[in-house]
Amino acid sequence: MTGRLVIIGAGQAGFALAAKMRTLGDQRPITILGAEPVAPYQRPPLSKKYLLGEMSFDRLLFRPEEWYVENNVELRLSTSVEMIDREARLVRLFDGSSIDYETLVFATGASPRRLPDAIGGNLEGVYTVRDKADADKLAVEMKAGRHVLIIGGGYIGLEAAAVARKLGLSVTLIEMADRILARVAAKETAEIMRAIHSAEGVDIRERTGLVRLIEDGGRVTAAELSDGTVLDIDMAIVGIGVLSNDQLASDAGLETMNGIVVDDHARTADPAIFAVGDCALQTWNGERVRLESVQNAVDQAEAVAAQLVGGTAAYQPKPWFWSDQYEVKLQIAGFNLGYDETLVRPGSREGSASVWYFRMGQLVAVDAINDAKAYVTGKKLLETAKAVDKAVLADPAADLKQLL
């Protein structure tokens, strides 16, 4: 194919696809449509180093804007798509114009779940963090001595708590489930991370939901919690998960289920349309999943690029994730879906540990807390599907190299 490639979405996956096409020598016209007014950039540092003032925005850019000109990649910013005309192969924009395509790729990502307006989700001082505009607004609010309520005890909420504490704010974090990280990690990992946050002064309240936010003049001033307490707060950060940006695909008649359904080549039911990154619902080990990670966004986008230049290999995800909280680096290899057993191994230095997940005796994931050796070993074991000697793993004195 040599006709135009249109990429909807100017995030990690959209940029990775365009860049890989050019690296592979493909010179077909490429147009990237981005809703934000800025060139594609890294999102994970937004809620960490950027918000802390440790990294300027120009360092977050994947490439300077000249790169797009030099590589004949048309970058349309502040651009919103109204609809996809699959029969005519046209992308219709809200400004009334249209762009023809031979191949279309959804790289639309995901958007944060928001609190209902009925309980205060629309009040001033209530934030989510997904893009530069969110981070810039939040940076103005994050001042030492203020009290922030964080709603949600997943990785988003815990990372926000860590940044707030480093900036000197008082932090209360609520989680309506029995424990933090209930949806994404074992209780052993949760216990380790809870202890770290408690030592840093975060007030973590599990089994505690939000009844409503209380306002004065349209701004949040307090929060009524399900345990009956009312907290005076200066602001709130909402971290209750994300939803796939799949409405355009759904409106175009493509199958969606909180994600755009794709096959093992990242292709939708329409052979001219693909989906990559956080918006794509793919099959992994027999389960339909969305892999919300930088690594998946890049790998899946590059796999599509290889197909567009003539490759035939299916995309085989190798999930890995990470989370930075204070001086703690949590690295996750694999995907713990359906695990039925865990094994905790102390690390070789103080403050390090790893949690190993098994499903019917087979290793499926590892959480490594300040333990790079455990992470690297676990990653290699998962890549080779090698059986794991649990006796070696359970022995803190044993060298992990024995497992390989």
Domains of the chain, first to last: 5-111+243-308 (3.50.50.60), 114-238 (3.50.50.60), 327-403 (3.30.390.30)
Model confidence band, residue 166 (pLDDT cutoffs 50, 70, 90): very high
pLDDT of 286-330, one tens digit each?
889 999 999 999 999 999 999 999 999 999 988 889 999 999 999
pLDDT confidence bin for 100, thresholds 50/70/90:
very high
> Can you read off the two tokens belonging to residue 17?
């696809």
What is the pLDDT at residue 351?
Answer: 86
Look at residue 163 in the predicted model and tell me its pLDDT.
96
Q: Is the pLDDT of residue 2 over 80?
A: no
Closest-CA residue to 316 (of 288, 284, 281, 338): 284
Indicate if the pLDDT at residue 207 is higher than 90: yes
Residue among 344, 326, 335 at smallest CA distance from 292: 335
Cα separation, 172 vs 206, in Å, equals: 11
Three-class HEC string of 35-69: CCCCCCECCHHHHCHHHHCCCCHHHCECCCHHHHH
- Tens digit of pLDDT for each residue in 103-120? 999 999 999 999 999 999
Residue 329 tokens, joined: 């680096």
Neighbours of 291 (CB within 10 A): 21
Q: Choose between 351 and 72: higher pLDDT.
A: 72
Place of tokens 């693909």: 274
Whole-angstrom distance, CA of residue 34 vs CA of residue 64: 15
Q: For 24-68, how does the pLDDT look when each residue is reduced to its tens digit (9 = 90+)?
A: 999 999 999 999 999 999 999 998 899 999 999 999 999 999 999
What pLDDT is stored for residue 319 in this prediction? 87
Overall average pLDDT of the 155-160 stretch: 94
Taking Cα atoms as reference points, which of 343, 284, 353 lies closest to residue 318?
A: 284
Task: Provide the whole-model pTM.
Answer: 0.93
**Long-range pairs for 346-355 at CB < 8 Å and ≥24 separation?**
346/396, 347/371, 347/373, 347/374, 348/373, 353/192, 354/378, 355/185, 355/186, 355/188, 355/189, 355/192
Q: DSSP readout, 181-227?
A: TTTTS-HHHHHHHHHHHHHTT-EEEES--EEEEEEETTEEEEEEETT
Of residues 257 and 351, more confidence is placed in: 257
Return the pLDDT at 1: 54
pLDDT of residue 349: 84
User: Rounded to the nearest 10 degrees, how much is the dihedral formed by the CA atoms of 366, 368, 371, 377?
Assistant: 20
Mean pLDDT in residue range 273-277: 98
Please name the residue that has the structure tokens 């480093």: 166
Rounded to whole angstroms, the Cα distance separating 295 from 309 reads 21
| CB neighbours of residue 351 within 10 Å | 12
Distance CA 39, CA 195 (A): 39
